[in-house]
Structure 1
Amino acid sequence: MTPSAATALTPDTCPLYVDLDGTLTPGDTLYESVMLFIRRNPFNLLRMMGWLLLGKAGFKQRLAGAVRPDPARLPYHERFLQFLREERARGRTLVLASAADARIVREVAAHLQLFDDTLGTNAQGDGLNLSRANKRDAIAAHARAHGHSTWAYAGNSRDDIAVWQGSAQAVAVNAPPGVIAALQQVHPQARVFAREPLRLKTVLRAIRLKQWSKNGLLFVPLLAAHSLDPRLWATVAVAFVAFGLCASATYLFNDLLDLPNDRAHRIKRHRPLASGAIGIPVAVALGVVMLTLAFVLAFAVSGGFAAMLLAYTVTTLAYSIYLKRLALIDVLVLSGLYTLRIGAGAVAAGVDLSNWLLAISIFLFLSLALVKRCAELEELDDHRSVLAPGRGYQPRDLASLRAMGMASGFLAVMVLALYIDSQNSQALYARPDWLWGAAPVLLLWVMRIWLKTGRRELSGEDPLQFALRDPFSWMTLLAMGGIGLLATIGF
């Protein structure tokens, strides 16, 4: 009997065996587990390298024994999931069959409550990794044991072609074009749930291209020094690109390590990695390439700037892995990373960095970091008293954090006021007294952003993102720039 005839004659009620990784969920539970294990302790990466000697089944057993992803926080293919619900309502037998560790497979099945049975890799049983021919044979044996001579299979990858060759019916979910072409040679009438193409817009969202605006701080030392040298501006422009690539890479690594918490967040669950729009291997490869390019450009600027970029990278990764969970330490680190950008710009341009500028930036960015934490806590239900996901804060900390944040913002304005009569301002500005006009403008902006935080009016999760979309913030920036220009030319 030809495959097409078998497909046509097989009733739709034959048991359907469903793959997990890449099919039921767009991600891979093995990669999810690896990231969870690294997040627990970065040195676990060395332990996993040793486990590779145990073979695929042994590696999966050790890893699943140490950590397993929460099924409730995994992304799922909703259209395919709805299809499975309809098939189960019709009385069809559904079995979750995966090369993932058997414990992970059982936990996912228990969460979804759609499957009658499960098959998974069990190193303590036959020791076989349940993929390709091993999966096909295990499914065939399971079907015969339950009185079925035919069975159907839903998969997504080239490894599944061997399984489809033994099935009477086939379903392809999120499969690449090459796999679908090979499948249709065996099952011309296979049902296909189309793969969502990876769009440039999705990649740009993943690397957070909008966040590159923060790296505009690298140009602040040139502005503060009143330098118009085009060579210095070109050098800092290269530094800007290097910092952007590095920051995007660290954002990817941060999202990889924070997947479970992002999926529990109202806004962050829509990020490309959290939603499964971009896979973990793609994100890792993209991050490595971007980080490599960043340091190539950094060394082209100067060794000192490369050292600053290395300090930023190490601090950011430490923040992603551990420091972000420490109350108060996290906001100090965030404000320090903003200020480090200003320092890196000064190193790239070869200009002196004013202590006044450093003081203003530290206080102002600490205030903005506390705005971000307060905005996150404001989103929690009033009755909820547990820690915010992945953070070291509780809703009852909100009043204290708000007081600290407003005080820090006011201190930034006070430092600006003290700077006006300093020797630095006298040397740089023809009419430094004009700078008094900048103090109330900055004060108004600080008070306004804190007022909007209390009213839960910040759009997005970051105060700088809000500022970029806020006309008043742009008017504030233009007003302060105009005041600085008047003070410079001595109008």
Structure 2
Amino acid sequence: MNLSNLLKVMALLFIQLRPKQWTKNLIVFAAPLYSMQLVNPNVFWKSLVSFFLFCFISGCVYILNDFVDRKADRMHPDKKHRPMASGALNPNLALTFGFLLFVSSVWVANLFNVSFALCLILYFTLNVFYSLRLKHVVLIDILLIASGFVLRAVGGALVIDVPLTEWFLLCALWLSMFLAVSKRRQELYLLQNKKGSHRKVLESYSVALLDQYNSIFATTTIISYSLFVISSEHSNLLMWSIPLVIYGICRYLYLIHQEGKGGKPEEILLEDKHIFITAVMYVVLILISLY
């Protein structure tokens, strides 16, 4: 293999890790942020490493998922362009790369914290079951998508050895469920009458049902976050973040219902200026409140 071909394969493998979706792993910084340790260089370094380890482990999941779904993805308007689905990347080569990346990532995680390494393994295992079977089981598929976000938050706490409050975990869970339901609704919206040809479980859902779920989880997210803030010792200042959370949720619902978006939260964060500005304002306010 000459240099140009090698670089091409390396570029395809990097694309296969879906770096555009790495923003979802920023939730690992929640624990150091709210524990007021983010400014500690040692803590920040550990959190940064945990961020990239989750990026790599999630990349391994994407490799396996795309390997299993490569035939079905060819019928999807967006996913047909993925490296394996398009035929640009050898599936066996991608699997080998994913295995080596998984082993090395777990090994590095174990150097920091055994519990964190186990969290990564659990995250990967649940997603493997999701990719191979459970993504076809109605409701369980949504729960497993949401569990990935929760485990990221837990992993961010484990790597720096700090506890997470019950209200924080509930916030992470309900927000994760909201994003997972939005993802399914967007797939249903895009595929419409051909929904079963790509993902069989979509035959078990309807737009009306997923809209009800979204309303439930949007409400519980706001309530849980409000209670989380009220229970904090910095509640006087953190209370000002509640309107930002409410606006962010409402803006996301607007994008879902009026613009047909919502399937890719990592892209919405970067592409929708209202969501992006709200997120920046929220982080700045939290930093001012806690530090």
- What letter corresponds to residue 277 of structure 2 in structure 1? M
Equivalent residue for 1:297?
108
Equivalent residue for 1:12?
none
Output aligned runs, 1:50-449, within 5 Å: 198-227=8-37, 228-381=39-192, 384=193, 387=196, 389-394=198-203, 397-422=206-231, 425-426=232-233, 429=234, 432-449=235-252
Write the distance in 2 (CA, Å) between the matches of 1:226 and 1:328.
36
Write the distance in 2 (CA, Å) between the matches of 1:196 and 1:239.
29
* CA positional deviation for 1:465: 2.1
Which residue, 276, 279, 291 being the options, matches 1:474? Answer: 276
Write the distance in 2 (CA, Å) between the matches of 1:458 and 1:269.
19
Which residue, 255, 258, 267 being the options, matches 1:452? Answer: 255
CA contact (8 A) 1:327 1:391 kept: no
Q: 1:4-36 CA deviation, whole Å, 9 max, x = no partner?
A: xxxxxxxxxxxxxxxxxxxxxxxxxxxxxxxxx
Larger Rg belongs to = 1
Write the distance in 2 (CA, Å) between the matches of 1:229 and 1:267.
41
CA contact (8 A) 1:371 1:405 kept: yes
Report the secondary structure of 1:455's partner residue.
helix
Report the secondary structure of 2:242's partner residue.
helix
- What letter corresponds to residue 156 of structure 2 in structure 1? G
Query: Measured at CA, do residues 438 and 253 of structure 1 come closer, stay the same or move farther in structure 2, by a change above 3 Å?
Result: same
CA contact (8 A) 2:61 2:124 kept: yes
* CA positional deviation for 1:199: 4.9
* CA positional deviation for 1:256: 0.2
Write the distance in 1 (CA, Å) between the matches of 2:195 and 2:13.
34
Instruction: Please identify, of 450-459 and 350-359, the stretch whose mean Cα deviation from structure 2 is larger.
Output: 450-459
Write the distance in 1 (CA, Å) between the matches of 2:33 and 2:195.
45
* CA positional deviation for 1:238: 2.2
Report the structure, 1 or 2, having the larger strand content.
Answer: 1
Equivalent residue for 1:20?
none
* CA positional deviation for 1:441: 1.5
- Size of the alignment, in residue pairs? 288
- TM-score by length of structure 2 reads 0.91
Q: CA RMSD in A?
A: 2.2
- TM-score by length of structure 1 reads 0.55
CA contact (8 A) 2:138 2:204 kept: no
Unaligned stretches of 5+ residues in structure 2: none
CA contact (8 A) 2:9 2:89 kept: no
* CA positional deviation for 1:206: 1.1
CA contact (8 A) 1:410 1:446 kept: no
Write the distance in 2 (CA, Å) between the matches of 1:347 and 1:197.
36
